[in-house]
Amino acid sequence: MAIHMQEKRQQKSGRHEQNPGHIGTCSRFLPFMVMAIAILLLFIIVPVAATDPTVIITGYEVTPSVLMPGDMGTVTLTIKNTAEGASEKENTGIVSGGTFASTKSTDINVFIENVHLERNGIDVLTDDFDRLGELGPGQSLPVTFVIRAPSRSGIYFPEAWIDVKDGRSTRYPVMVNVNTDISTQKKPSLFVTQKLPDRVAPGEDCTVAITIKNTGLIQASDIALVVNSTIKSLVLTNSGRYYWNHISPNEETNLTLHFATDKNTPIGIDPVTLTITYLNPDGTIVRQTETVGIPVKGRAEIAVSSVTTDPVRPVPGGMFILIIRLENTGTD
């Protein structure tokens, strides 16, 4: 009766005693479960988010380099996959001190959705290039657009637009020159003229007049001239080296070269080399080579080589033949 009353009191209070044997069993397996979870955490594969694939324009070429108003030309773009900049990584292995045992990196092919050349004052005659396909890591692809120059001269900057799938788009300006002289550094320019004899016979002397004129926009300085004959029998008889401190724009200087020949001087145009060096305003050395061609031509000279008679001893009052032999002793 006492036991029955105790069970009723437990039901009223809503409390039930747990099985002591069940609690003991769980307690025994708990350390093994914690150890298994720790081991699983050591061997994990963690994918790292991939960077966005993209392309760059490594260069472009406009043909012709300078267009006249209304002319047609081409713009060729060189598109390259930035393989190192677009890759996906996967970390695997045991984590030790926050570092994975191995990391795998895979370059991503880039899929080119569209290539467009924005006009910006230039007529683009080629349609967009749609869905060009995949470009492998490090690979390049040329794309050419046909353009027409506007009616007005100037510098124009059409812009290349490249859209890639699941990646970053690229914008790149292209310079197109339409009949415009882009200012460059002013430089001197030495123009050499020469006055030659009509002909020089082997063995004769001759003179050559040389004029050096600065046709550039700024003076040339430290001008040196070296004369060199390439024919041994054509000899320079005066100085072969000349120097001028400077030659201003539109200014000219003159000199006369004297040469001597001999009988062995070859017939034809015998070259004499003029080597000119001078300095640009920025200090760079300019080397210029000119060639003077001296016309060596033979000259005919008639001489009597022999005089004979037939018979050898004519008879007084008789008939005889006088034989005179002529010979060209010249060089032509």
Express each pLDDT in 12-44 by its tens digit.
444 444 444 444 455 565 666 656 565 555 444
User: What are the phi and psi torsion angles at 36 (to 5°)?
Assistant: -65, -40
Dihedral in degrees, nearest 10, Cα atoms 181, 183, 185, 190? 30
Report how far apart, in Å, the C-alpha atoms of 180 and of each of 43, 74, 172, 183, 193 are.
Answer: 67, 18, 22, 9, 31
Place of tokens 């396909």: 133
Place of tokens 């713009």: 75
Two tokens at 251? Answer: 């200014």
65 CB-contact burial (10 Å; exposed 0-12 / middle 13-18 / buried 19+) = exposed
Q: What is the tally of helices (H) and strands (E) in the chain?
A: 2, 24
What's the pLDDT score for residue 49? Answer: 47
Q: Does pLDDT of 328 surpass 70?
A: no
Q: What's the rounded mean pLDDT across residues 111-117?
A: 92
Q: Does pLDDT of 232 surpass 90?
A: no
Q: What's the rounded mean pLDDT across residues 179-185?
A: 73
What is the per-residue pLDDT across 186-201, written as a single tens digit (0 to 9) for each? 789 999 999 988 888 8
Q: How many CB atoms lie within 10 A of CB 185?
A: 9
Point out which residues pair with 88 in neighbouring strands. Answer: 106
More confident residue, 227 or 40: 227
Q: pLDDT band at residue 182, thresholds of 50, 70 and 90?
A: confident
Q: What's the rounded mean pLDDT across residues 305-325?
A: 81
Q: Which amino acid is at 253?
A: T
**Separation of alpha carbons 301 and 263, rounded Å:** 14
What CATH superfamily classification does 55-178 receive?
Immunoglobulins (2.60.40.10)
Lowest mean pLDDT among 68-77, 250-259, 281-290, 299-308: 299-308
Percent share of the chain, pLDDT over 70: 73
Q: What's the rounded mean pLDDT across residues 282-303?
A: 84
Lowest mean pLDDT among 46-60, 64-78, 128-142, 307-321: 46-60
Q: Are strands 140-148 and 241-247 parallel, antiparallel or unpaired?
A: unpaired
What's the pLDDT score for residue 186? Answer: 78
User: What are the phi and psi torsion angles at 23 (to 5°)?
Assistant: -65, -35
Residues 6+ apart with CB under 8 A from 223: 190, 212, 243, 244, 245, 246, 247, 276, 277, 278
Asked: is 190-296 a CATH 3.30.70.260 domain? The reply is no
Two tokens at 195? Answer: 């006055």
**Domains 55-178 and 190-296 equal at CATH topology level:** yes
Q: Does pLDDT of 143 surpass 70?
A: yes
Q: How far apart are the first and last CA of the chain?
A: 163
If phi over 0 gives left and psi between -120 and 50 gives alpha, with beta otherwise, what is residue 33?
A: alpha
Q: pLDDT band at residue 128, thresholds of 50, 70 and 90?
A: very high
For the chain, which residues make up each domain, given as ranges?
55-178, 190-296, 300-332
Residues 6+ apart with CB under 8 A from 233: 202, 261, 262, 264, 265, 266
**This model's pTM is above 0.75:** no
Please name which of 294, 292, 256, 290 lies closest in space to residue 275, comparing C-alpha atoms. Answer: 290
Q: pLDDT band at residue 227, thresholds of 50, 70 and 90?
A: very high
Q: Does pLDDT of 229 surpass 80?
A: yes
Q: What's the rounded mean pLDDT across residues 121-135?
A: 91
Q: What's the rounded mean pLDDT across residues 229-238?
A: 88
